[in-house]
Each structure stands twice: as structure tokens, then as C-alpha cells.
A and B are shown apart, each in its own frame.
Chain A
Amino acid sequence: MSERLRAVSGQVIALGVALLMGAIIILMVGESPVHVFMTLLRGAFGDQEKIAGTLLQTTPILICGVAACIGLRGGMFNVGIEGQLFLGGFAAAWVGFTFSLPTGIHTLAALALAVAAGAAWVAIPAYFRARYNTNEVVSTILSNYIAVLLTSYFTIFLFKRPGGWSETPPILATAYLPEIFAFSRLNWGLFIGLLLAVGVALVFRYTSWGYGVTMVGSAPKFAEYGGVNVKRQGFVVLLLSGAVGGLAGGVETLGVHHRFMEGFAPGFGFDGLIAALLANGSPVATIVTALFFGALRSGSLLLEVDTTASREIITVIQALIILSVSAQVLVRRRGDSQAGERRWKF
């Protein structure tokens, strides 16, 4: 327990260091840090609509974060969640505007294709990672660029809404994810994300498959001697991670935009990865970190209105948080440097 307490306190101190550095950068761009942070807070939690807005931003970050967690647990860096998100989003929209199906079934069909698209998009990098040990970080990053351009091509050249602006036709109402409140676009996607996070955590905790994945991630030799097919499992882990990434895109399309637009969800994939890293690969802790980043994002919308600072200042803060968390040895005892070395390796 004290181990866990120390880990959490280390995370909090790292967070403080990052916010301090963020404050310095905010001063550099000519704004008052207090004003900026208060604006962020107000933009994130100011009234019930703002809170709903924060949860709306949290949803895709959470689902992407769970996708990243699955990979991280199995020792895989799926940096391609962004691309899987875009393809999943497009696939869901395509089902949504092409077919007409009964309510509910339509949504499920669209989500299923989004999941399939995400998994399919990561399949080739996953295969080469598992079979030939081709670095998955680089291959998934590069595939992001292709995914974004490809979905733009689909949207603008093949399925453009007549008279529309780089967007597909709207999906049918039968495929919508139901909204929770009348005053916000917040929808059932949030529940999907929460269920997913808890479900994945339970799988890792209570099934032998989940144990095997964690073992492959933390001690591949041990897992191999224990009879785990490391290669096949690596492939499956990346595929599942990609599938969840695709689901995130589907949820975003069916719940929020109701169509696919060029650049519909910029940066959610990376935010999810960062949230998962900050949560140390734990899906349940990712709920908290995703909420934090969702609040930052939501608050940044008001930031753009009320201050001269750009909303990208929050990406700076996020990056600083990850950097200071990754250097946590700073705040630990010297003897612990080994633990620092193994951070993020699970």
C-alpha cells in the first residue's frame, strides 16, 4: 500500500512541476498563469453545460486511453490510435448514411464496422511486429498520416455531401447514439467508455489471458517459458488495441458529429495515449486521467475566447506533465533509480 501511495504522490508532485513549467510558458506568451488556469477551470466546470462538455471531450480520450492501455500492458506502443480513430469514425459514418436499419441495430452495426476498421488498420503493423519484430512505434505513427489523408480522400472525393464542406452526408437518426441530457451532445458513448475501462481492467485482473498479456509486457522471457505464445499474443494485443481505437472513432461519429468530417477529432488518439501513460497502463486510472485531459480540452475552448493565449497551450501542459512524470526519479530516492528505469515498461 505504501508503494502505491508513493507512486501516486510521485505522480502528483510531477503534475505540480509540470504545471509550474506550464505557468512559465504561459508567462512567456504574455498571459497571466492564474488567469489562464482559472479560465481553464471555468471553461471545464463553470456550469452544468460546461461539465457536460467536459465529459463529452473525456469520452473519446477515455476510449482511446483504454486502447493504449491494452497495448501498453502487452508491451506494445500503439501510437496509431489516431489513425484507427479516423478510420473507425469514417466506417461508422458510412454504415450510418448508406444503410437503413432498425434503431439500435443500425448503431450496433456501425460500431461493429468501426471496430473492424480499427483492427484492420493496425493488422499489418501488428503482423510485422509480431512476426519480424518490426518496430511498431514507427509503423503505427506513419500509418496515422496515411489514415488521415485516406479518410479525407474518401470524404471529399467519394462521399462528399452535395453542397457540403468536406463532410459526408449526415447519418440516419436510427444510427445515433442516444443523448443523455437535452442541453448537451453528451451521449451514451461515455457509458461505453466507462464500461470498457472497467471491463478491460477486470479481464486483466481475473482472466488467465489477461495475466499472460501482462506477463508478456513485463517479462516476455518468463511468459514464454510459462507457455505463452508471445508472438501470437503480441499480434492479438495490437489488434484489440486497434479495435478499441476504431470504436472510439465510431462513438465520436455516431454520438457527436452524426457525419464524418475532415479532421473531425484531432489529437484524441494522442491524448488517449498520454492519459494511459499517466495512468501507468491501468484502465481504471485512465478514467481519472482522461477526465483531467477532457477538462483541459473543454477549458481550452473558453481560453481561446477569453484570453489571447492559443488553445494549444494545453498540449504544451500535457507534454510537460508526461515529461516530468517520466523523469520521476527526480523526486524519488536515488536507490530507486531502477524503478525509474522500468517506468512505462510495466
Chain B
Amino acid sequence: MEILDKLINIALIAATLRTTAPILLVALGGSFTTKAGIFNIGLEGQMLAGAFFAVLGSIWTGSAFAGVACGVAAALAFALAFAVLVVTFRANEVVVGLALNILAGGMTISLMKAIFGTRGSIVGHGIVGLPKVQIPGAQALLGSWAPLVSGFTPIVYVAFIAVPLLVLFYNRTRLGLYIRVVGEKPEAAEALGISITRVRYIASLLCGLLAGLAGAHLSLGYITMFTENMSSGRGFMAVAILIFSNGDPLKVLAGCLLFGFADAFSLRLQTFGFPSYLVLTVPYVVALTALFALSYRARPKIIKETLASMQKLLSTDRNSVPADKNPQ
């Protein structure tokens, strides 16, 4: 019995990692725009477009990876449209984001009808799903713990590896620093001769890249199908996470693991016969509760942190930016 319990637990953790991956990717994508000072509510639409075109690409080329590339390209197109409207035309980012989400929803359904003649979902048609990566030796070394590190699709690994990479990116690279400066103190960025427009474009496109991967994971990862609005609010949950994590990769990871767990746990509850409608609300309730609880807790800290981060930023500016400028 004990062993059985343990197995279920490990399975649950493995499921958590699986369900965390898409929301983690899309939230990490959003961390670029958050850090660059753009409120990007359009993540949902980018993810949805990514999921749809990944399926299309997979059917057309017969290759899952080409499908992923198609999905990423579609998400990039949406991200580019977002950047053009928000950065160049200075349109309101909430309006543009919401409109792009609606566009993605309507477009995917219209194209589905036009190409496959069906409503609701695309199943079969020769969709090729992503392969699962078996890490050699995992079974021998870890035994029953092996499902925790082995047997995921490549995108899951990408999602988790992206976390430390992003930490390094923000703290150790020039572009990372530029993105933070542009977000936190655009005047300082301007004074330093950083092109705010260009940095925000880059941030938006990087965001589209990861959101597209997240979408491809949804439709080619563990289930190989596309359904109407299959991103089902994950992009919005990612925005909630971004608000209380301020886009810091490690905090994003913590938030996403919470949601991944809520997601996996609610799926499990469903199999135990709880009413599915109530169970399905769990991730949204968790997202809202976290958003409210953390904004309540953060109330005196907001001012302090803003001041502290400004001071830190100004001192980093002085130390590192001139050094970077030297090679010119």
C-alpha cells in the first residue's frame, strides 16, 4: 500500500511538472515584456495562435518540430502586431492585448472551419506529437523516481532550463540590463542612449517566442489535438503570476509550480468523482487568491521596494553601463 501511495505521489509530481511547463513558458515569455515595462495581456492569444499553427504545421509537414516552428512563427506574428501597435503607435496595451486575444480566438475557429470543415476540435488528420525524451540511465539510477526527470517532451525541459538562463540573462547580459532599465526607468534609458523602441520590440518578440512554444506544448505535447480556446485562460494566469512576481524568473517558477500543481491536482480530483465544473475552477481560484493575497501582503513593501530597486538600478547603471559602452 505504501509503495502504491508513493507511486501516486510521484505520478502527481510528474504530472505537476507536465502541467507547469506551458504556463511556465508563457509566464517566462511575459517576464520579458513585464521587465521592459509593458503590460502584456495578449499572452493568451499568442499561446492560442501557437497551439493552432503548431497543429497545422505538424499536419502539413509530418514533423512535430516543424509544427513547433510554425506555432512559434504564428505567436511571433501576434507579438509583432502587439509591438507595432503598442510601441510604435502607442495604442493602449490593454485594448490591443484584449483585441489580439479575441482575434486569435476568432481566427483559429474560422480557419479550422475553412481548412477542416469542423467546429470544436481538430483530432487525427495525421497530427504528429512531440516525442518523449528518455534520459539514458535514469531508470537505473533513480528507480521509481525516474519519471521525475525522464520521459517528458523536449519543451518541458526547455521550460525548466529557461529559468536559470533567464536569471543569468537579466543579471549578466547587456540586453537583460537594458530591458530592465527600459522598464524601470525609461528616462534613464533614454539618457544612456538606449533605444526604448528597439528594446521593447526585442522584449515583445522574445515573449512571442516562448508563448509560441507554450502553445505548441498544449497541442503537440501530451494531447495531440487542437480545441477551440484550448489555452483556457493560462495566458491570463501567467499575467497574474507576472504581476505578483514582477517578472523575476525564480518567483515566476514558484508561482507556476503552484498553478501546475493546482492543475494536476484538480485533474486528479475529477477522477475521484468531484463535480468537474467545480474542480475546473480550482486553478482560477488559486490564481485569484494568490493575486489578492500577495497584493494585500505587499502593500507597505511596494513603496520600499520601488525605492530600493531604483537605487540598485542607478548604482548598476553607473558601474556596468559605461564599461559596456567602452568598446564603441
- What is A's interface to B at a CB cutoff of 8 Å? 25, 28-30, 77, 79, 124, 128, 132-135, 137-139, 141-143, 145-146, 149-150, 152-153, 156-157, 270, 273-274, 277, 308-310, 312-316, 318-320, 322-323, 326-327, 329-330, 337, 340-341, 343-345
Contact = CB atoms under 8 A, between A and B. Distances in A.
A322 B95 CA distance: 8
A320 B81 CA distance: 11
A310 B96 contact: no
A168 to B, nearest CB: 14
Contacts, number: 158
B99 A322 contact: yes
Contact of A320 (B103, B113, B277): B103
Interface in B212-240: 232-233, 236-237, 239-240
Interface in B82-123: 84-85, 89-92, 94-96, 98-100, 102-103, 105-107, 109-114, 117, 119
B312 to A, nearest CB: 23
B291 A139 contact: yes
A130 to B, nearest CB: 12
A80 to B, nearest CB: 11
B270 to A, nearest CB: 13
B85 A142 contact: no
B90 to A, nearest CB: 4
B277 A150 contact: yes
Nearest to A321: B99
Contacts of B112: 310
Contact of B292 (A25, A124, A146): A124
Contacts of B105: 312, 315
28 contacts: A25-B107, A28-B111, A29-B110, A29-B111, A30-B114, A124-B292, A134-B243, A137-B39, A139-B291, A139-B292, A142-B233, A142-B236, A142-B237, A142-B240, A142-B284, A312-B113, A315-B106, A322-B95, A322-B98, A322-B99, A323-B91, A326-B96, A327-B84, A329-B90, A340-B89, A343-B92, A344-B92, A344-B95
B285 A146 contact: yes
Contact of A142 (B106, B107, B113, B288): B288
Contact of B102 (A145, A270, A337): A270
A335 B328 CA distance: 34
B136 to A, nearest CB: 41
Nearest to A157: B275
B281 A142 contact: no
B110 A309 contact: yes
A50 B41 CA distance: 36
A326 B89 CA distance: 8
B45 to A, nearest CB: 9
A90 B259 CA distance: 29
Contacts of A135: 39, 243, 291
A337 B41 CA distance: 23
B236 to A, nearest CB: 5
Interface of B: 39, 41, 81, 84-85, 89-92, 94-96, 98-100, 102-103, 105-107, 109-114, 117, 119, 232-233, 236-237, 239-240, 243, 275, 277-278, 280-281, 284-285, 287-288, 291-292, 295-296, 298-299
B272 to A, nearest CB: 16
A345 B89 CA distance: 15
A30, A79, A149, A277: which has the most chain B beta carbons within 10 Å?
A149
B109 A312 contact: yes
Contacts of A326: 85, 89, 91-92, 95-96, 99
Given A139-B292, A330-B89, A310 B113 contact: yes
Contact of A138 (B96, B113, B239, B285): B239
A284 B11 CA distance: 57
Contact of B291 (A79, A134, A157, A341): A134
